[in-house]
Amino acid sequence: MKDVYEEQLKNYDFIFAHASYVVNYDYVTAIRHNCLHIKTKGGPTSLPISRNKKDEARNRHIAILRRRRGI
């Protein structure tokens, strides 16, 4: 999963939150504590953010948000 993220998805606003989860930024509603809150067809859900990915996921979320808002 890490290789796919680094080589293909990182340039397209995906967040690598856990060894098993890569999430499209467009579906992220919030990052709180150690969870990535996302919207799905079945309704809102939360995915865990691993300790190793916590800072990276938060920084990536902020960077995408700033770029899209032109900050």
> What does the pLDDT look like over 9-44, one tens digit per residue?
988 999 999 988 899 999 999 998 889 999 998 899
pTM of the model: 0.84
Q: Which domain holds residue 32?
A: 2-69
- Residues with Cβ within 8 Å of residue 12, at least 6 apart in sequence: 24
Query: What is the pLDDT averaged over residues 58-69?
Result: 94
CA angle 59, 38, 44 (to 5 degrees): 155
Q: What do you get for the CA distance between the two ends of the chain, in Å? A: 30
pLDDT score, position 10? 86
Question: What is the tally of structural domains in the chain?
Answer: 1
Can you list the positions of beta strands (E) in 1-71? 14-18, 21-24, 28-32, 35-40, 43-48
